[in-house]
Amino acid sequence: MGDSHTQSSSNGPDPRVRRNTATSSVPSSGVTSSNSAALPPQRRTVKREKSGNPKNMNGPLYMQRNENIVLVRRVKRKGEGPLKQLTRWFVENQIGFAFNLLALLFLAHGCMPRARSHTGKYFTLSYYNPTTGQYGLGKDDGFLIFFCIILFTGLRAATLEYLFAPYAKSKGITKRKDITRFSEQAWLLIYYSFFWTLGLYIYCQSPHFFNLRELWTNWPNRELAGLMKGYMLAQLAFWLQQIIVINIEERRKDHWQMFTHHIITICLIYASYRYGHTRVGNLILVLMDVVDLFLPLAKCLKYLGHSTACDYMFVVFMVSWFVARHVLFLTVCYSVYVHTTAIIPYGCFSGHSGNFTGPYQPPADKGVLYLLEPLWKSDGPVCYDDTVKWTFLSMLLFLQALTIMWFSLIIRVAMRVLKGEGADDTRSDDEGCEDVDAEDDEEESEFVYEEAHALAEEVGVDELDLKNWAERRRGGAGVGGVTATGVSLPGHSDRKELLGRIGCEKQVE
């Protein structure tokens, strides 16, 4: 509380009224209010201490408060260009950006009947054939892919912020990086639990269930069931969104290996969809996704402190990895090498399902460009020959090489488990603990904090203006006209003077 100041007059001391306010920049000494100018504000920048209290760890920074420390403004980072600022804005506003776009889409679809033929493409399957009851493929599939990317972005950010991060805090996880990592792994666990189950259901209901030769029958075929089409497009959208995710998260040492893996996966999913090989695409996704069920679960158990359960789950993960990705996956590669040559007719076909022309030889004047035409032409030539076979097989074997490299890291973790050191991820972050602390300091330095103090002012009774108080309350007389007590102080009607009193004259003109 500020010190009191006493004025005297010839008639003796006047009765005084004390008024207290809390500001972020006014010094604790009192101010005598009459017609005198305000004292210059004494600003004190306060460095916030790191707190182990999980209640202060997460959430938007502008909502974080530590007792009487309040946020004044954010300082622009040095060397940040417009593009990086835009990227940072997108990262910090993923939830609002995604769900506002979706809300605008559904609002336009509901309120503008003429636009429904266009807006409906974003959340429905295109190219339905009522004769066959199946769906074709074409450029309009891109609308649904875009919709799924936005949906996954919003769902991921919302679940991380409002579901998994609070749960992690409630379980005693206090470090910011651990909360973030736990939330990311929990999101992957939810995603793969749903889509692996869906993919397995499609596989079990298909004619190629435990029959590798059936993977290649009835080709060429440019139509597929609605469930298979939705599954393939959603998986493609997820991996496209993962390209964004790995550049948002803190980078690991194998960032570029992961980036390459995602690019190869996207190419394989899209090519299998456009070439009519969705059966083998579904099988490979099922084999890959089952492993990604156990790894996020093991990591979540590790973050929650269940080390023994984590070690057991890691063993399950390691066995599933070896069986799915180094035994069954190579079996599929063998089927590509052997069965396709015996079953798929060599040559090129044009047209739609039920109306194909061919086979004929690949056009010699286009070189290898004929391989790319099916990727954007729905009725153009689609071919199968040794070039196509080895292109697919090369990408699959390159994916196998990446998984072998990662499996060697898994073996290293397994050796540590056998030694009793626990199942820690060898793919550690590029930043160590010290660098993470330095990063926290750097992020914290973006914000200027000041300590709030009480302001004590002594005002003479004869200087109080109560005459037009009710009228000012009704009319909204401005920032300085009405106080919390309904008392107007002389000179406070001037907005700049009031801003000068609270130390904001440099930020707001």
Task: State pLDDT tens for residues 347-390.
Answer: 999 988 778 888 999 888 888 888 899 999 888 899 999 999 99
How many other C-beta atoms are found inside a 10 Å radius of the C-beta of residue 500?
17
Task: Tell me what pLDDT residue 6 has.
Answer: 42
The answer as to whether 98 is a domain residue is no
Out of 401, 417, 442, a domain closes at: 442
Let me know whether 197 and 172 are in one domain.
yes
The answer as to whether 88 is a domain residue is no
Task: Tell me what pLDDT residue 76 has.
Answer: 55
Let me know whether 230 and 306 are in one domain.
yes
Let me know whether 420 and 493 are in one domain.
no
DSSP secondary structure letter of residue 462: G
Structure tokens at 109: 């679809």
Out of 392, 407, 442, a domain closes at: 442
The answer as to whether 99 is a domain residue is no
Residue 83 has pLDDT above 80, yes or no: no
Report residue 460's pLDDT band, with 50, 70 and 90 as the boundaries: low
Report residue 175's pLDDT band, with 50, 70 and 90 as the boundaries: very high
Strands 69-74, 447-451: pairing kind:
antiparallel
Report residue 452's pLDDT band, with 50, 70 and 90 as the boundaries: low
Question: 59 in helix, strand or coil?
Answer: coil
Question: What is the C-alpha to C-alpha distance for residues 45 and 338, in angstroms, rounded to an integer?
Answer: 72
Task: Tell me what pLDDT residue 458 has.
Answer: 60
Report residue 448's pLDDT band, with 50, 70 and 90 as the boundaries: low
Question: What is the C-alpha to C-alpha distance for residues 173 and 55, in angstroms, rounded to an integer?
Answer: 11
Question: What is the C-alpha to C-alpha distance for residues 352 and 169, in angstroms, rounded to an integer?
Answer: 55
Residue 31 vs residues 28, 88, 318, 455: alpha-carbon distances, Å:
9, 42, 71, 8
Residue 340 has pLDDT above 70, yes or no: yes
Task: State pLDDT tens for residues 182-204.
Answer: 999 999 999 999 999 999 999 99
Residue 507 has pLDDT above 80, yes or no: no
Let me know whether 375 and 231 are in one domain.
yes
Let me know whether 297 and 368 are in one domain.
yes
Let me know whether 236 and 352 are in one domain.
yes
Residue 429 has pLDDT above 90, yes or no: no
Residue 341 has pLDDT above 60, yes or no: yes
Let me know whether 488 and 400 are in one domain.
no
Let me know whether 63 and 138 are in one domain.
no
Can you tell me the mean pLDDT for 272-297?
96
Q: Which range is least confidently modeled, 95-104, 338-347, 440-449?
A: 440-449
Strands 347-350, 382-384: pairing kind:
antiparallel
Task: Name the burial class of residue 472, with classes exposed (0-12), middle (13-18) and buried (19+) by CB atoms within 10 angstroms of its CB.
Answer: middle
Q: Which range is least confidently modeled, 117-131, 400-414, 415-429, 447-461?
A: 447-461
Question: 36 in helix, strand or coil?
Answer: coil
Report which of 225, 164, 168 is spatially closest to residue 198, judged by C-alpha positions: 225
Can you tell me the mean pLDDT for 105-128?
95
The mean of the pLDDT values for the chain is 78
Residue 274 vs residues 277, 282, 339, 375: alpha-carbon distances, Å:
8, 14, 20, 6
Report which of 454, 459, 463 is spatially closest to residue 502, judged by C-alpha positions: 454
Question: What is the C-alpha to C-alpha distance for residues 216 and 73, in angstroms, rounded to an integer?
Answer: 62
Let me know whether 344 and 419 are in one domain.
yes
Residue 408 vs residues 200, 402, 426: alpha-carbon distances, Å:
28, 10, 10
The answer as to whether 458 is a domain residue is yes
Largest CA distance in the chain: 116
Task: Name the burial class of residue 262, with classes exposed (0-12), middle (13-18) and buried (19+) by CB atoms within 10 angstroms of its CB.
Answer: middle
Structure tokens at 224: 């597929």
The answer as to whether 144 is a domain residue is yes
The answer as to whether 112 is a domain residue is no
Let me know whether 190 and 325 are in one domain.
yes
The answer as to whether 111 is a domain residue is no
How many other C-beta atoms are found inside a 10 Å radius of the C-beta of residue 402?
16
Q: Which residue has the higher pLDDT, 225 or 41?
A: 225
Indicate if the alpha-carbon torsion angle 122, 125, 127, 128 is positive or negative. negative
Structure tokens at 179: 């909360």
Let me know whether 365 and 414 are in one domain.
yes
Report residue 467's pLDDT band, with 50, 70 and 90 as the boundaries: low
Let me know whether 414 and 461 are in one domain.
no
Question: What is the C-alpha to C-alpha distance for residues 483 and 332, in angstroms, rounded to an integer?
Answer: 76
H or E segment at 507? none
Residues contacting 193, CB < 8 A, separation 6+? 293
How many other C-beta atoms are found inside a 10 Å radius of the C-beta of residue 348?
21
- Residue 272: domain span: 124-442
Out of 442, 464, 483, a domain closes at: 442
The answer as to whether 97 is a domain residue is no
Can you tell me the mean pLDDT for 258-274?
95
Q: Which residue has the higher pLDDT, 488 or 202?
A: 202
Q: What total of structural domains would you count in the chain?
A: 2
Q: Which residue has the higher pLDDT, 432 or 502?
A: 502
